[in-house]
Structure 1
Amino acid sequence: MYKRVFWIALGASVGVLVVTKGAKTLRKFSPSGLADSASGLPGALSGSVRGFLDDVQYAAAEREMELYRALGMDSPDPDGPHDR
C-alpha cells in the first residue's frame, strides 16, 4: 500500500512540474512573450552595429595614415580628392 501511495505522489509531482514548465514555455513563445523578449533587441543590436562601424572607421583611418607614410606624405592632400 505504501508503494502505491509513493508512486501516486511521485506521479502527481512530476505531472505538476511538467505542466508548470509547459505553461512557462508556451507563455514564452506566445506573441506577447516574444514581444517582451525582443523589446531590448533593437537597442543592443544598434549598439553592436555602431561599435562595429566605429572600429571599421578607426581601422580605415589608421590604414590610410600608414599608406600616406609609405608614400612619403605626412597628411592627406589639403585640396581634397581630384577628378581624373
Structure 2
Amino acid sequence: MFRRTFWFSTGVAAGVWATTKVNRKLKQLTPENLAVSAANKAIEAGHRIKDRAVGFALDVRDNMAQREEELGEALGINAAPELPAPRRYPAIENRNSPKYVEGSTYQTYSNNSYNRNEDH
C-alpha cells in the first residue's frame, strides 16, 4: 500500500512539473513575448557593438598619440611652440557716440535722442 501511494504521488508531482514547464514554454512562444525578447536581444547587441566601437576608438586615439610622439621625437619637433603673450588693449571711448560727454566716461542716458534708423 505504501508503494502504491509513493508512486502515485511521484506521478502526480511529475505531471504537475511537466504541465507547468509546458505552460511556461507556451507563454514564451506567444507573438508578444517573441517580439519583446527579439527587441531586448537587439538592444543588447547594439550596446555591445557601441561598447566595442568606443573601445576601438579609444585604442585608435591612444595609438595615434603614441605614434605622433614617436614621429615628433624622430623629427625633433616635440617641443611645444611658445605663443606670444596675449595683447591687452586699453578701453577706448568712442567720441562719435551720442552718449559720449566731453571729459567723462560713458553715460547710460543722455539728452541726445538717437535713432539708428533715422539715417536710412
Map of 1:1-84 to 2, 5 A cutoff?
1-72=1-72, 73-74=77-78
Measure, in 2, the Cα distance between the counterparts of 1:65 and 1:30. 53
Measure, in 2, the Cα distance between the counterparts of 1:69 and 1:39. 45
Percent identity over the alignment is 23
Q: Which runs of 4+ in 1 moved over 4 A?
A: none
Q: Structure 1 length as normaliser, TM-score?
A: 0.68
Deviation at 1:26, TM superposition (A): 2.6
More helix by share: 1
Deviation at 1:51, TM superposition (A): 1.7
1:5-63 C-alpha deviation (Å, 9 max, x unpaired): 33222211211111111221232234332222233223322222222111111111111
Unaligned runs of 5+ in 1: 75-84
RMSD of equivalent CA atoms: 2.0
Q: Which residue of 2 aligns with 1:81?
A: none
Instruction: Specify the SS of the correspondent of 1:39.
Output: helix
Larger radius of gyration: 2
Unaligned runs of 5+ in 2: 79-120
Q: Which residue of 1 aligns with 2:86?
A: none
Bigger relative contact order (CA 8 A; separation at least 6): 1
Measure, in 2, the Cα distance between the counterparts of 1:67 and 1:5. 79
Q: Structure 2 length as normaliser, TM-score?
A: 0.51
